[in-house]
Amino acid sequence: MATLCRPAVSVPEHVITMEETLELARSRHADHPQLGLALRLMENTGVRTRHLVQPLAETLAHPGFEERNKLYAAEAKARVPLVVRRALEDGELSAAEIDMIIYVSCTGFMMPSLTAWLINTMGFPSHTRQIPIAQLGCAAGGAAINRAHDFCTAYPQANALIVACEFCSLCYQPTDTGIGSLLSNGLFGDGMAAAVVRGTGGHGIRLERNGSYLIPGTEDWIAYDVRATGFHFLLDKRVPGTMEPLAPVLRSLADEHGWDASDLDFYIVHAGGPRILDDLSTFLHVRPEAFRHSRATLTEYGNIASAVVLDALRRLFDEGGAADQARGLLAGFGPGITAEMALGRWSRTPGRSRKETR
């Protein structure tokens, strides 16, 4: 049975606080007719700090889409290997034992994907399968876990590596002054994460079931408008309310598995904002404390897109994990509006490794 091992997470060294973010909004948008609303929305995110791949002055400049995308590629190559090496160590595997790499990112573009560069430079076999995922945005972290689960279920002796790299600050657009854009300027941060999913062996979450769901008619609620200046993020004001229709979907997935979504031992979900977590607590009848790891990621790093789920899971590992066979839910939410969901049990006893089964 596929096991999701401890994720490795890294954030860039440049930090911006919420106080600095609010002051920037006041100074750069002093004449904005809805500045007061934007400031309140940013304060209500619960974000205290975010990490940026560049110093703040360079982040605020816009040298053009071409230069930004070059920076995305250069910084990904410089920073991703660290989390990959740590994830392999935590999964007790070598690069030679990886059969598939799933790379998720929605904040830059490379073709071939970074997967090709990783294979060529980090010792992964040339026959390693590659699955780059871009357009699922924040939901891609959950999708990567699910596709790795599917792969390792189909090939029980195989192992998959998940890599998430998000430099949201490279999507900052100084000319976008809508409320959704201003809120995004105070919400999103940069971060990288990686995790191994083993077909056999390893300890962590033994994945048992996964599912996907798209809320009909919402494909324009979270979107990119791609222009000469790059990716312009579009965020509909109805997005924070999407947990009301999605909570029954999470409950249905658990019901199909014979579990009660209101009575699980741990919850690892994408923290797009505080209302997402508050509404899940309400509609699933779960104590707010159950989402403490997701909320901690939001507070310390902001919304780091596809890497949120992996960072929240890393925090559960760092807390000491859960009891053996504890039942849990993982979920990522993003454009579509799409939910990528998984159920699994915590396993403290590693199964047999691939080497032991040979």
Q: What is the pLDDT of residues 276-325, one digit of tens each?
A: 999 999 999 999 999 999 999 999 999 999 999 999 999 999 999 999 99
Known catalytic membership, residue 168: no
What residues does each domain of the chain span? 3-198, 204-349
Question: What pLDDT, on a 0 to 100 scale, did the predictor assign at position 1?
Answer: 86
The torsion angles phi and psi of 183, rounded to 5 degrees, stand at -60, -45
Q: What is the pLDDT of residues 221-234, one digit of tens each?
A: 999 999 999 999 99
Q: Work out the pLDDT band at 350, boundaries 50, 70, 90.
A: low
Can you read off the two tokens belonging to residue 316? Answer: 């559960």
Q: How far apart are CA 133 and CA 126, in angstroms?
A: 20
Q: What is the mean pLDDT of residues 209-236?
A: 93
How many percent of the chain have pLDDT more than 70? Answer: 97
Burial group, residue 316, by CB count within 10 angstroms (0-12, 13-18, 19+): buried
Looking at domain 3-198, what is its CATH homologous superfamily? Thiolase/Chalcone synthase (3.40.47.10)
Single out the catalytic residue among 138, 152, 165, 168: 138
Q: What is the pLDDT of residues 105-142, one digit of tens each?
A: 999 999 999 999 999 999 999 999 999 999 999 999 99
CATH for 204-349?
Answer: 3.40.47.10
In eight-state DSSP terms, residue 155 is S
Question: What pLDDT, on a 0 to 100 scale, did the predictor assign at position 237?
Answer: 87
Q: What is the DSSP string of 241-261?
A: GGHHHHHHHHHHHHHHTT--T
Torsion sign across C-alpha atoms 61, 63, 68, 71: negative
Burial group, residue 324, by CB count within 10 angstroms (0-12, 13-18, 19+): exposed
On average, the pLDDT of the chain sits at 94
Q: Work out the pLDDT band at 273, boundaries 50, 70, 90.
A: confident
Helix axes 243-256, 274-284, angle to 10 degrees: 50
Q: How far apart are CA 222 and CA 45, in angstroms?
A: 18
Higher pLDDT, 164 or 181: 164
Q: Do 204-349 and 3-198 fall under one CATH topology? A: yes
